[in-house]
């Protein structure tokens, strides 16, 4: 844990401005914290030499930029120029990008210091981060439990107090679910809000980069830096930049909040429902209106996700053929053999399974039978959400159906991985913004998260409610190196 982890970004910035500490102090301490917590396996590649050199030159503190000189970790499927980017795969074990992703350019404009690339599920395909070629990251609240995924390393690096910020990506809950398991605030912005340029694609119509942080205000602060139209991303939204912190601290009296009945059905652990109900009681006592509603096709969301995500993944990963970049089988006697052996050896079993299923789903008449039909139902689900937002300000529910479970639990059943994300996948399908907020702990002191969903481009309203609840609950989110379980 960094010795600065107890300080807010505002407090750190004040110390930098007053010259009580330097950026080099911050970054040096961060690498010490990374080494101390190396057993958690949060990082794949460190950027120590370059980060320390950069930090040494960051002496002219920008008093108006709270992010200036702040260390940040970046998920290893986001391209970083000159810094290895593996997607946690043997296929890209030695890949070094020649350009920065747009989000990396954005954080560099604020002179944030990238300390390393975080561990994840291979090509972001998984919900545990256990499909990583480099071994699984461990949950800092209890290293015997999973971190969640696919942005497991990013969640762990923040939850362990190593860095105040990390970037993740979210295709079917991959920021919010590990956020819930590790007690981290994680946001999936509206689809198109943050550029995907430089994100190594999994499922292009679902992927979205977002911020992970220790608290709500700092999450909104980082999102401020990430957003903006990007001509390199054809799905980038032409929206004006805004201050996502602007509603933080405002009262929620009169706010209309909906809870989909499916989100509080018997698929959810009773302890999680109990914590959510306590928050609902709190909201009602503070003047918010809470209603229970139905949203169409929520029960089919996982099936739709499997069809769409696997289909798009099979297309996106076709580029890894052993010819252009990445792993290439050394002893092939024909082009066909090169393709086959490169992909057989370069990809892990879960990635290969999804490619094969996706290829089947897109082949011939199956594309119409499955993919096209799934996309139509997906639109109907989105329409149902949008209809709800005509009456309600926000939608809430649990983020996950269980708390983080054992690292030793079998991965043989592929359905288990998808069911871990059953409550967060619908938001990706609808393209809406969603945030995980820690709201308490179960009997084993494992974190429980609450999911707050907003209408298109209404992240500021999500932050308003999240910060209100956060302040009322005032939780201690220090994982204490897993000491709660010793």
Read off the pLDDT of residues 356-379 as tens digits, 9 standing for 90 and up: 999 999 999 999 999 999 999 999
The mean pLDDT value for 412-427 works out to 85
3-state secondary structure of 90: helix
User: Cβ distance 164 to 219 under 8 Å?
Assistant: no
**Which has the closest alpha carbon to 95: 324, 425, 350?**
324
Tell me the pLDDT band of 240, cut-offs 50, 70 and 90.
confident
For residue 139, pLDDT over 70 is answered with: yes
Residue of 5, 147, 174, 417 with catalytic role: 174
Report the chain's C-alpha Rg in angstroms.
Answer: 21
Mean pLDDT of 139-162: 98
pLDDT at 411: 78
Residue whose structure tokens are 């830096």 = 225
* Whether residue 257 has pLDDT greater than 90: yes
- CATH code, 61: 3.90.1300.10
Q: How far apart are alpha carbons 405 and 145 in whole angstroms?
A: 5
Q: Is residue 397 part of a domain?
A: yes
Comparing 120-129, 245-254, 316-325, the range with the smallest average pLDDT is 316-325
Let me know if 349 is a catalytic residue.
Answer: no
Quote the pLDDT of residue 482.
66
Question: Quick check: is 43 in a domain?
Answer: yes
- pLDDT class of 410 with cuts at 50, 70, 90: confident
Do the domain assignments include residue 347? Answer: no
Residue 451 dihedral angles phi and psi, to the nearest 5°: -105, 125
The reported pLDDT for the residue numbered 480 is 80
Of the listed ranges 235-239, 278-282, 411-415, 455-459, the one predicted with least confidence? 411-415
User: Half-sphere exposure (CA, 13 Å, Cβ side) for 295?
Assistant: 36
User: 0.85 exceeded by the pTM?
Assistant: yes
Closest Cα partner for 301 from 263, 358, 272, 255?
Answer: 263
In a domain, 372, yes or no: no
Q: Which of 5, 75, 188, 417 is an active site residue? A: 75
Would you mind telling me the total number of residues written for the chain in this entry?
486
Give the structural domain span for 480: 9-255+390-485
User: E-strand spans in 81-176?
Assistant: 113-118, 165-169
Q: What is the 3-state secondary structure (H, E, C) of 355-383?
A: HHHHHHHHCCCHHHHHHHHHHHHHHHHHH
User: Would you give the DSSP letter of residue 21?
Assistant: S
Structure confidence by residue, pLDDT tens digits, 1-35: 889 999 999 999 999 999 999 999 999 999 999 99
Q: What is the pLDDT of residue 79?
A: 99
Catalytic residue among 2, 37, 147, 150: 150
Helix (H) or strand (E) holding 349, with range, is: helix 349-362
Instruction: With beta carbons less than 8 A apart as the criterion, state whether 155 and 179 touch.
Output: yes
Residue 181 lies in a domain: yes
Please check whether residue 47 is in contact with residue 83, taking contact to mean a CB–CB distance below 8 angstroms: yes
Which residues does residue 210 pair with via DSSP β-bridges, in sequence order?
168
CA distance 465 to 483: 31
CA 126 to chain centre: 12
pLDDT above 60 (res 252): yes
- Counting the structural domains of the chain, the total is 1
* Alpha-carbon span 266 to 102, nearest angstrom: 42
pLDDT, tens digit, 9 for 90 and up, residues 51-110: 999 999 999 999 999 999 999 999 999 999 999 999 999 999 999 999 999 999 999 999
Q: Catalytic site residue 150?
A: yes
| Contact by Cβ (8 Å): 206, 309 | yes
Q: Which token pair is 149?
A: 């995924």
* pLDDT score of 457: 98
Do 473 and 440 touch, CB atoms closer than 8 A? Answer: yes
DSSP code of 71? E
Contact at 8 Å (CB) between 312 and 202? yes
Would 346 be classed as within a structural domain? Answer: no
For residue 383, give Cα distances in angstroms to 198, 296, 390: 30, 9, 11
Q: Alpha-carbon distance 101 to 195, whole Å?
A: 8
The yes-or-no answer on residue 151 being catalytic is: no
> What is the arithmetic mean of pLDDT over 340-354?
94
pLDDT value, residue 325: 81
Q: Which H or E element spans position 170?
A: none
Q: Give the relative orientation of helices 349-362 and 335-346 as an angle to the nearest 10 degrees.
A: 120
CB 132 within 8 A of CB 65: no
Give a yes or no: residue 423 inside a domain: yes
Q: Chain centroid to CA 412: how far?
A: 24
């Amino acid at each position: 844990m960094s010795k600065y982890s107890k300080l807010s970004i505002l407090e750190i910035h004040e110390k930098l401005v007053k010259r009580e500490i330097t950026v080099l102090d911050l970054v040096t301490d961060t690498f010490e914290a990374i080494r101390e917590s190396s057993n958690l396996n949060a990082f794949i590649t460190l950027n120590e030499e370059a980060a320390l050199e950069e930090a040494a030159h960051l002496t002219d503190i920008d008093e108006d930029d709270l992010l200036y000189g702040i260390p940040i970790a970046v998920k290893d499927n986001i391209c970083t120029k000159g810094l290895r980017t593996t997607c946690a795969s043997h296929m890209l074990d030695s890949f070094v990008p020649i350009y920065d992703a747009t989000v990396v350019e954005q954080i560099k404009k604020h002179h944030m210091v990238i300390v390393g690339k975080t561990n994840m599920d291979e090509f972001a395909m998984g919900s545990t981060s256990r499909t990583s070629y480099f071994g699984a990251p461990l949950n800092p609240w209890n290293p015997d439990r999973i971190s969640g995924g696919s942005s497991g390393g990013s969640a762990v690096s923040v939850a362990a107090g190593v860095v105040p910020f990390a970037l993740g990506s979210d295709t079917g809950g991959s920021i919010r679910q590990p956020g819930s398991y590790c007690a981290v605030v994680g946001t999936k912005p509206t689809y198109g809000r943050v550029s995907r340029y430089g994100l190594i694609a999994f499922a292009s119509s679902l992927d979205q980069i977002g911020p992970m942080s220790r608290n709500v205000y700092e999450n909104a602060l980082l999102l401020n830096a990430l957003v903006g139209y990007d001509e390199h991303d054809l799905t980038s939204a032409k929206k004006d930049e805004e201050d996502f912190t602007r509603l933080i601290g405002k009262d929620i009296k009169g706010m209309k909040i909906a809870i989909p009945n499916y989100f509080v059905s018997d698929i959810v652990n009773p302890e999680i429902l109990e914590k959510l109900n306590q928050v609902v009681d709190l909201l009602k006592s503070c003047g918010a209106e809470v209603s229970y509603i139905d949203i169409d096709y929520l029960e089919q969301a996982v099936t739709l996700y499997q069809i769409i995500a696997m289909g798009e993944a099979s297309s996106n990963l076709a580029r890894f053929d052993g010819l252009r970049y990445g792993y290439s089988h050394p002893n092939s006697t024909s082009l066909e053999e090169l393709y086959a052996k490169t992909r057989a050896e370069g990809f892990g079993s879960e990635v290969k399974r999804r490619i094969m299923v996706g290829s089947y789903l897109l082949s011939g008449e199956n594309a119409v039978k499955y993919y096209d039909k799934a996309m139509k139902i997906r639109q109907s689900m989105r329409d149902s959400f949008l209809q709800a937002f005509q009456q309600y300000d926000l939608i809430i529910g649990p983020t996950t159906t269980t708390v983080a479970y054992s690292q030793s639990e079998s991965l043989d059943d592929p359905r288990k991985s998808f069911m871990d994300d059953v409550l967060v996948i619908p938001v990706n399908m609808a393209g809406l913004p969603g945030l995980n907020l820690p709201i308490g702990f179960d009997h084993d002191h494992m974190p429980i998260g609450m999911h707050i969903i907003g209408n298109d481009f209404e992240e500021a309203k999500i932050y308003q409610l999240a910060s209100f609840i956060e302040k009322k609950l005032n939780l201690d989110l220090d994982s204490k190196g897993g000491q709660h379980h010793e």
